[in-house]
Amino acid sequence: MAKKIKLGTILSNDTFFYTIPFEQPGQTLTREILAEHFPVPKGRKAHWGIHTEYKSFKNGLVSVEVKTPDNSVNMLFLHVGLTELEVACTCGMSEAKLCYHAYMGLHSIASEFDRFYWPGFTEDEHTKNKFLIAEVTKNWISVKPKAKYGNIFKSTIGFEGDKQLSIKEPAKAEAVVIGGQETIAYCLAYNVGSRSNLILPIIIPCLGLTSKNNKEVVSFKQFGRADKPISNMSLTANQALLNDISIKQYEIAKAYDDLAHEGKMNEFPKLKQDILTLWEQAMPLLLNEKYNCGYYTYWLKYLRDKPRKADIRDCKYSLERPVLSFVLKFHQDHFSFAAIVSVNGSPLKFNYKPHLFVFDDITELCYLMPSVQDDNLLMWVLSNNKRLTILKEHFAEFHDTFLAKISSFYLVLYTDPKSKKTVPYSFEMISNEII
């Protein structure tokens, strides 16, 4: 009979754990790998009747109850390491070999185990409950950071999504020349969706009617596109240039919209840069137009007919380019890392951000980001409740793998917990005073 072990307790020191290396890279256990550690039962029905039920995730151990086709019931205890899975069973695993119950249970739940890998967090229940939310059901376990801690640094792995970042010395924004005249309405079409349904921000002309005092556009009749241009309107030279930019941007946005998921992942950086280059040409021209607006749209296909007045927003552009910097703070047992976007030394305030632009709530001005790299880095930090979280004991590794590179290209400010003064980041100062 299997030995009963109380859930949520630390197992005795003599508990045997069998080790199974993960498929690399990552922390994935496949059935092919599992078959290398146990004689695979023969026959079509050999794996029928397996019942697994998740019980708990405590003290760094995942508890899984396994009922096998022979009606025996055992408990598995899984510990997820960086490169390997350790598994114990209440049967004791005689002869230090993977047992039948463990094989059958793991065969049923074989998948990616990275969600259970939180070094420094899950070994202690107090630390885990402070930083993480663990939801346990019979069929699955979800482990994720609490919202207020944003994106948490995992030792030896880093932050979620950081492998997609490319960090190098940012390109310097060059001054642009303003010129041209004013006329019809130009909409900045955008959304703030995920990569699957976002549209790259584009400029699109709109045919509309102005108010009696000629200060605003009160209704809109149609979008202007290459396949459906605005007719019977005399365009200025400024507008002709803007319309040409609009057509090019729409073609790029349409090419991105038509791609499958993998294609969007691969082509996104290049197409986003192409869009930014065209925006740099459009910005000085837009300042010469009397009617500019923002237009939120869920899909690119919604730009076929006429704008919805309810989705139109005021939009005033500035040729100033925001500067991206970061602030690091210490909170007794962990550090927080957040982004700051400023113009002429004044931080911008905003609750949401589309790609390539920042809408400042204070000045009500719309600013174009200086580079795709700056924008991607800012969007990534904002995507996890606007902050990164790093345990105190992980800080040296965080510096070596992430912050050293960031601080070499961007200003990183550190708030000294003793003096309360904000000073430029120095690893030596922090290592001497805190770590």
| Mean pLDDT in consecutive groups of 10 residues from the start of the chain, 435 residues | 45 89 88 93 82 94 91 93 94 91 92 91 93 95 94 91 82 51 74 74 88 78 82 88 95 90 88 96 94 85 78 91 96 95 95 92 95 95 93 96 96 88 92 79
For residue 9, what pLDDT is reported?
A: 53
For residue 168, what pLDDT is reported?
A: 82
Answer for the pair 308, 298: CB distance below 8 angstroms, yes or no: no
Does residue 189 sit in the same domain as residue 69?
A: no
For residue 215, what pLDDT is reported?
A: 77
60, two tokens: 């760094």
| Residue 354 resides in a domain | yes
Does residue 257 sit in the same domain as residue 345?
A: no
Does residue 134 sit in the same domain as residue 193?
A: no
| Residue 409 resides in a domain | yes
Q: Which of 93, 122, 145 is the last residue before a domain boundary?
A: 145
Answer for the pair 293, 185: CB distance below 8 angstroms, yes or no: yes
Answer for the pair 104, 47: CB distance below 8 angstroms, yes or no: yes
| Residue 40 resides in a domain | yes
Does residue 301 sit in the same domain as residue 355?
A: no
Does residue 191 sit in the same domain as residue 301?
A: yes
Does residue 53 sit in the same domain as residue 125?
A: yes
Does residue 260 sit in the same domain as residue 370?
A: no
For residues 304-315, one letter each, b for 16 or more C-beta atoms within 10 angstroms of the residue's C-beta and e for the rest, the string is eeebeeebbeeb
Does residue 230 sit in the same domain as residue 344?
A: no
| Residue 261 resides in a domain | yes
| Residue 169 resides in a domain | no
For residue 295, what pLDDT is reported?
A: 85
Strands 422-424 and 292-296, sheet pairing: unpaired
**Structural domain containing residue 238:** 185-313
Does residue 195 sit in the same domain as residue 300?
A: yes
| Residue 153 resides in a domain | no
Q: Which of 383, 403, 386 is nearest to 394 (CA)?
A: 403
Does residue 338 sit in the same domain as residue 275?
A: no
Q: Which residues contact 11 (CB under 8 A, 6 or more apart)?
A: 5, 61, 77, 88
For residue 307, what pLDDT is reported?
A: 78
Residue with tokens 């946005």: 253
| Residue 154 resides in a domain | no
Neighbours of 151 (CB within 10 A): 23
Query: Which residue type does 407 have?
Result: S
Q: What is the rounded radius of gyration, in angstroms, for the C-alpha atoms of the chain?
A: 28
Q: Which residues face 341 on adjacent strands? A: 324
Q: Which of 91, 126, 145 is the last residue before a domain boundary?
A: 145
Q: Give how many domains the chain has, as a whole number.
A: 3
Does residue 297 sit in the same domain as residue 332?
A: no
For residue 38, what pLDDT is reported?
A: 93
Does residue 330 sit in the same domain as residue 418?
A: yes
